[in-house]
Amino acid sequence: MATILAFCVSRDGKLKPSAKETVTAARKLAQQMNADVTAVTFAECSDASTLGAFGAKKVIQLANPELAQYSTEGFAQAAAEVCKAENPVAVLLFASANGKDFAPRLSARVNAPLLTDCTELKFDGGVCALRPIYAGKVLLWARVKAPYGIFTIRPKAFIPEEVGGSAEVVSQSVTLDSTKIRAKITAEKMAEGGMLDVTEADIVVSGGRGMKGPENWSQLEALAIALGGSLGASRAVVDAGWRPHHEQVGQTGKVVAPSLYVAVGISGAIQHVAGMSTSRTIVAINKDADAPIFKLATYGIVGDALEILPKLTEEVQKVKAAG
């Protein structure tokens, strides 16, 4: 039977939440192609078998010391070897920073076309993908005419769905040319505590210049905590040094698609919209009634963010306490 490969990422021996999204997307496509889903991890994971519940028939755990830490060339080499051995009809990766980094290298190695930031997949005489172009102003359907294509999945575009079933889990050694891995991670410095990365969060509260200064960010943080979400920021805020780059949402930052996106003091420049336009519900708070963000928002509040945020946070806390 035909095979769809779903490459999944992990940390410290456990799958990241994105693995379930990737396998869910692969399963939905596989149902249209009469194919099976094979998940592939770059390390052994204690919870690898759980992917069976989301549609994977098999999980291949790659074993090689060079894959213990992420490297562009190492992951691309390993993924290419799996593609050559499995002869898939489609290859799916999550559009994380690492996925976006090694997907083009994988595409070049196996001579397969690459479509990025896909929000929907279907089979119609070939695998078709819906993806944004022109900084998110247009959604385009593209069809792959090659034997198979590589698709990176936009975060939160495919909600994980358990369908039952089990997966065969196997460990597989892979040979890599270490002389061609020119850049390697030698150490990681993790932020202490903190919130989920914005690409993994189901609720994101983002701030822009309308917050007037970094000293007011505690108001945004209070709302994010009340909602159980994560903090995001516009590029202008990051460029000004108010917030760290890993919080930046937009064309030159991270692409998010949470269930709820709260844009506070953000005008709605196209560069920012490109990173959050596929959010399911968008709430905008801005003192400028003509701000472009209101054209995209599901709900809009016109007013001073610093006056509105404390009241909004208080109401959310009341609802949570009553529930």
Q: What is the pLDDT of residues 23-39, one digit of tens each?
A: 999 999 999 999 999 99
Q: How many alpha carbons lie under 13 Å from residue 166 in its C-beta half-sphere?
A: 3
Would you say residue 44 lies in a domain?
yes
What is residue 155's predicted lDDT score, i.e. its pLDDT?
86
Predicted confidence band of residue 68 (pLDDT cuts 50, 70, 90)? confident
Mapped onto helix, strand or coil, the DSSP state of residue 256 is: coil
Based on the structure, what is the number of domains in the chain? Answer: 2
Q: Are residues 80 and 135 in the same domain?
A: yes
pLDDT (mean) for 156-160:
89
Q: Are residues 43 and 162 in the same domain?
A: yes
Would you say residue 39 lies in a domain?
yes
What is residue 183's predicted lDDT score, i.e. its pLDDT?
87
Of residues 122 and 1, more confidence is placed in 122
What is residue 189's predicted lDDT score, i.e. its pLDDT?
74
Amino acid at 174: V
Q: Are residues 112 and 20 in the same domain?
A: yes
pLDDT tens digits, 185-229: 887 776 665 688 898 899 999 999 999 999 999 999 999 999 999
Q: What is the CATH number of the domain that holds 36?
A: 3.40.50.620
Of residues 58 and 270, more confidence is placed in 58
Q: Are residues 298 and 261 in the same domain?
A: yes
Would you say residue 296 lies in a domain?
yes
**Chain centroid, CA 278 distance in Å:** 12
Backbone angles phi, psi at 226, to 5 degrees: -60, -40
Q: Are residues 266 and 149 in the same domain?
A: no
What is residue 210's predicted lDDT score, i.e. its pLDDT?
95
Backbone angles phi, psi at 250, to 5 degrees: 145, -175
Would you say residue 196 lies in a domain?
no
Q: Are residues 209 and 174 in the same domain?
A: no
| Secondary structure element (H or E) that encloses residue 51, with its range | none
CB-based contact 206:260 (threshold 8 Å): no
User: Given a cut of 80, is residue 135 above it in pLDDT?
Assistant: no
User: Given a cut of 90, is residue 21 above it in pLDDT?
Assistant: yes
For 313, the domain range is 203-322
Q: Are residues 145 and 219 in the same domain?
A: no
- Name the pTM for this structure: 0.83
What is residue 206's predicted lDDT score, i.e. its pLDDT?
97
Would you say residue 43 lies in a domain?
yes
Would you say residue 191 lies in a domain?
no
Would you say residue 232 lies in a domain?
yes
Q: Are residues 211 and 149 in the same domain?
A: no
Q: Are residues 80 and 159 in the same domain?
A: yes
The percentage of the chain sitting over the pLDDT mark of 90, rounded to a whole number, equals 79
Backbone angles phi, psi at 109, to 5 degrees: -65, -40
User: Given a cut of 90, is residue 237 above it in pLDDT?
Assistant: yes
Q: Are residues 42 and 146 in the same domain?
A: yes
What is residue 190's predicted lDDT score, i.e. its pLDDT?
65
Q: Are residues 11 and 125 in the same domain?
A: yes
What is residue 193's predicted lDDT score, i.e. its pLDDT?
57
**Chain centroid, CA 254 distance in Å:** 8
Q: Are residues 260 and 313 in the same domain?
A: yes
